[in-house]
Amino acid sequence: MTENAIELKGICKYFGIVAANEDVSLTVRKGEILSLLGENGSGKTTLMNMLSGIYYPDSGQIFVDGKEVTIRSPKDAYALGIGMIHQHFKLIDLFTAAENIILGMDGKSPVINMKEVLEDISKLTDRYGFQLDLNKKVYDMSVSEKQTVEIVKMLYRGANLLILDEPTAVLTPQETDHLFEVLRKMREDGKAIIIITHKLHEVLAISDRVSILRKGRYIGTVDTKDATALSLTEMMVGEKVALNIDRPEPKHPKKCLEVKNLTCRNKYGVKALDSVSFTAMGGEILGIAGIAGSGQKELLETIAGLQDGEGSILFTDPDSGKEEELIGMDPLKIQKMGVSLAFVPEDRLGMGLVGDMGMPGNMMVRSYRSGHSALLEQKKPRELSEQIKNDLGVITPSIHYPVRRLSGGNVQKILVGREIANTPKLLMTAYAVRGLDINTSYSIYHLLNEQKEQGVAVIYVGEDLDVLLELSDRILVLCGGKISGIVDARTTTKEEVGLLMTKHGEEA
Amino acid sequence: MSFLWSVFKGIFSVTFVQKAITQGVPMLFGATGEIITEKSGNLNLGIPGIMYMGAIGGLAGAFLYENGNEAPNGFLGILCAIFFCLLFSLLGAMIYSVLTITLRANQNVTGLALTTFGVGFGNFLGGSFSKITGTAGQITVYNTGQAFRAKIPYLSDHLGIVGSLFFSYGFLTYLSIIIALLATWFLLRTRAGLNLRAVGENAAAADAASINVTKYKYLATCIGGMISGLGGLYFVMEYLGGTWQNNGFGDRGWLAVALVIFALWKPARAIWGSFLFGGLYILFAYVPLSQSMQEIFKMLPYAVTILVLVISSLQRKKENQPPASLGLPYFREER
């Protein structure tokens, strides 16, 4: 009897000629939480997908409980007690929690006996203290509830090794704490847990050991108690990095955007934003915090003219002092009015860029109206692409390579680079560093700070409170479409912001 | 008033109801088959073609049997007809499956091409058979056709109006209802049904839950195709009485596809929906109107479908929407 739950030896996986994993070896013991750390594109998710049967390794060996195994499909993985909770939940929206949990399983009979199923699952949820309404449809659930369904689904299948891919990316601090409690309970129960995350303080808080990957290769494993945020980052990046975000004092802040009583309804007629009022200043970074879906997306899209709203959005040009009302305008009208506003949306490849085009094509999406001839102006976009590639360090085989195939960090650099190239007065970013590794994240923060120093009003919607607290000058907290508070980022605490994020229906 | 009265009298007659049901049965087979198929995420627009293939298959099977026998037995004729009908529709569904599931060809293009192919295939074989048989230039399988048309004995003529309304149809009519009910039960109550719906909603999630997506897609498309094929068989055997008529099946296949939308992807709803569609389809004959106005009446089933589509889209009730990944191919290693 070995105490290793899983052992990987010399795993390689190639996508075409790109090596996603090269000679990776890794061990997870029973009753421990292992963090898997690495930059974007370092092959963490690919490696885990080979354990869960989504991909098949090109070479290498996998041992479960000391025996060599072959995992060709998710079914094989379940049979070996391996369960993976993906970053994007693999749930059927239309089904209830219980239906999702039993999905794909063989029962005693081909006909479903719902009563028996519910009893079985309840036993399990009681044991670990999950709060879950088994008859609730997934489309009515919050992110954290969906995650609970995924975890219960894996436990119900008898998973002894649980893999969680960035489980905290969409949770509030309170929900994260609750998740960690559950994970610790499972660890006591003898289960092995692998957690993939970018957030170093979480790695330090939850895991027993940390394994690090860099560019698809295994770098090493350290005991968490011997590690610090800095030492882990160095292993991850391969060089020394400074983990401080600069925050220069705002210089001559000028009013740039004044939003008054902005109300916006979603397509179901529900108020997504409810009388929101605030001012954004040029030369300042205004952070926006809130649980996912609290109205952040609607706020930015209404300002950018992509959604209708009621109220007032007054844009003041910091240089000329000219004022323009943006409510009821579409992006083209806003551009024609001479309001220079840039928006980096959350959905980079959906709203931001065209995945199948290369960089110059994507530059033209923003500028194709500027030429005077019937033919497209090709040269400038090409020059701009080269410039962005060099200045921001975009890693791509060629500027004409489809951006869809680039890693998340490079895609974001292209998008931010294009928006900044238009010298905006107001720059809005939604989850600008979501899914990006530390190095790329810091270069994005740096870019935002540069814009701030040039007098641009930056609105930064973020999800990592530590970053919001370090980067922003002021933080606006949204909760259920209302402003639950605007605080000074230099003096506030994480707890204060966390509480505001869940404070419903009170006066702003 | 006399105009309305004549319409009223026409619609509330036993013959109208019987004819509506007769028209509805092929659509019900087609719709049930297409619902099963679409629940796996495959939008098989080849169903109208597959129904033609099932029809000519069944007819050919029965013809080969009757032609080789001095005194053909109706029951054996039925077996031969059903066997070849299922075989030919399976062939059609397999063409679609291999192209869209294995080779991941565009579903719309494949489906439309298959319909064109199936209609031509049916007309070609049907026409050729009619030529070969010589007599009167019509292929006929009289014995089998009569066996398909046999009503339920005793009940159909001893219960008065109840007997004529409920028991005066061939066995395929009842089979169509039973299959639709079974399909509903299968989709809602069994594990395989749950898995199938999962495949059509979100194939990646189904895959992660260890469901064999390819297997489910193949099985659903092939079984769905075979069920639809029975609709074609019903038309040549019970409706036409065992003969072929080029393009005789007309646009009933497309009505079956429209019925799927009308039924909001619920086979049980397709049962009464098919009878309604059947009624609307022949309504023009019961309204004393000029020829050109009749053409407008023939539009009714489609108009009703559009209306249902508009209403269900406005409601936005998630349970009434098409399977979420309908029309999309699934490829696991896509990055």
Task: Give tens-digit pLDDT for B318-335.
Answer: 888 899 999 998 887 544
Q: Strands across the sheet with A254-265, in order? A: A271-282, A254-265, A310-316, A323-325
* Helices A494-501 and A173-188, packing angle to 10 deg: 100
- State residue A508's pLDDT score: 38
Query: What gap in Å lies between CA B306 and CA B296, rounded to an integer?
Result: 15
pLDDT at A2: 52
Smallest CA-to-CA distance from A197 within A153, A225, A163 is with: A163
- Rounded to two decimals, the ipTM of the complex is 0.88
Q: Give a yes or no: residue B304 inside a domain.
A: yes
What tokens were used for A308? 């209708």
Q: Residue B332: inside a domain, yes or no?
A: no
Distance, in Å, from the CA atom of A417 to the CA atom of A392, rounded to the nearest integer, reads 7
Chain B touched by A16 (CB under 8 Å): no
Tell me if chain B has a CB within 8 Å of the CB of A91: yes
CA A447, CA A421: separation in Å to the nearest integer? 12
- Cβ A5 vs Cβ A162: under 8 Å: no
* Domain annotation covers residue B326: no
Number of domains comprising chain B: 1
Determine the pLDDT at residue A312: 87
Across chain A, which has 508 residues, the per-10-residue mean pLDDT values are 81 82 90 87 85 89 92 89 88 94 88 92 89 91 89 91 87 84 91 87 90 88 88 78 76 86 80 88 90 83 87 84 83 83 83 86 80 77 88 83 81 86 88 78 87 90 85 90 89 84 57
pLDDT tens, residue by residue, B109-133: 999 999 999 999 999 999 888 887 7
Task: Please identify among residues 167-206 of chain B the ones whose CB lies closer than 8 Å to any CB of chain A.
Answer: 189-192, 194-195, 197-198, 201-202, 204-206
Q: How far apart are CA A83 and CA A158, in angstroms?
A: 8
Give which of A103, A150, A349 to mutate to test B binding, by max B Cβ within 10 Å: A103
Residues of B in contact with A106 (CB under 8 A): 191
Q: How high is the pLDDT of residue B183?
A: 97
The answer to whether B214 faces chain A, any CB pair under 8 Å, is no
Report CA B185 to chain centroid distance, whole Å: 19
Which one-letter DSSP state was computed for residue A191? -
Comparing CB atoms, the residue among A90, A103, A268 nearest residue B194 is A103
Q: Does A358 touch chain B (CB under 8 A)?
A: no
Q: Write down the pLDDT at residue A504.
A: 57
B320 touches chain A (CB under 8 A): no
Which of A104, A110, A153 shows the shortest C-beta gap to B206?
A104
The top-level CATH class assigned to A253-340+424-445+455-508 is: alpha beta
Does B208 sit within 8 Å of A84, measured CB to CB? Answer: yes
Q: What is the C-alpha to C-alpha distance for residues B62 and B144, in angstroms, rounded to an integer?
A: 7
Three-state helix/strand/coil letters over B54-88: HHHHHHHHHHHHHHCCCCCCHHHHHHHHHHHHHHH
Low-confidence ranges of chain B (pLDDT < 70): 1, 134-137, 333-335
- B31 falls within a domain: yes
CB atoms within 10 A of CB A368: 12
A253-340+424-445+455-508 and A4-237 share a CATH fold: yes
Most B-contacting residue of A56, A76, A82, A112 (CB-CB within 10 A), to test interface? A112
Candidates B204, B318, B319; nearest CB to A90 = B204
Element (H, E) at A179: helix A173-188
Annotated domain spans of chain A: 4-237, 253-340+424-445+455-508, 353-422
Chain B contact for A104 (CB, 8 A cutoff): yes
CATH of A4-237, one of 3.20.20.70, 3.40.1280.10, 3.40.50.300, 3.90.470.10: 3.40.50.300
Q: Is the dihedral of CA A489, A491, A494, A495 positive or negative?
A: negative
In chain B, residues with a C-beta closer than 8 Å to the C-beta of A75 are 210, 212
Note down the domain range covering B39. 2-320
Q: Is B133 on the interface with A (CB under 8 A)?
A: no
State whether A84 and B332 contact (CB < 8 Å). no
- Is there a contact between B197 and A94 if contact means CB atoms under 8 Å apart? yes
Interface touch B194/A112, C-beta < 8 Å: yes
* CATH code of the domain covering residue B273: 1.10.3470
Say whether residue A103 is in contact with chain B using an 8 A CB cutoff.
yes
Cβ-defined contact of A139 to B209 (cutoff 8 Å): no
- Interchain contact A158–B (C-beta under 8 A): no
Of A74, A110, A137, the CB nearest to B208: A74
- Asked whether residue B335 is domain-assigned, the answer is no
Question: Which of B189, B208, B333 minimises the CB distance to A90?
Answer: B208
Closest residue to A94, CB basis, from B207, B208, B319: B319
How distant is the Cα of A32 from the closest Cα of chain B, in angstroms? 25
Q: Do A78 and B208 touch (CB under 8 A)?
A: no
Instruction: Determine contact: A92 vs chain B, CB below 8 A.
Output: yes
Question: A210 to each of A21, A28, A215, B175, how far by Cα in Å?
Answer: 18, 10, 17, 62
| Residue B49: HSE in the Cβ half-sphere, 13 Å Cα cutoff | 23
pLDDT at A180: 92
3-state secondary structure of A165: strand
- Measure the CA dihedral A16/A20/A26/A32, to 10°: -130
- The packing angle between helices B191-201 and B213-234, to 10°, is 100
Question: Which residue of A21, A48, A94 to mutate against B (max B Cβ within 10 Å)?
Answer: A94
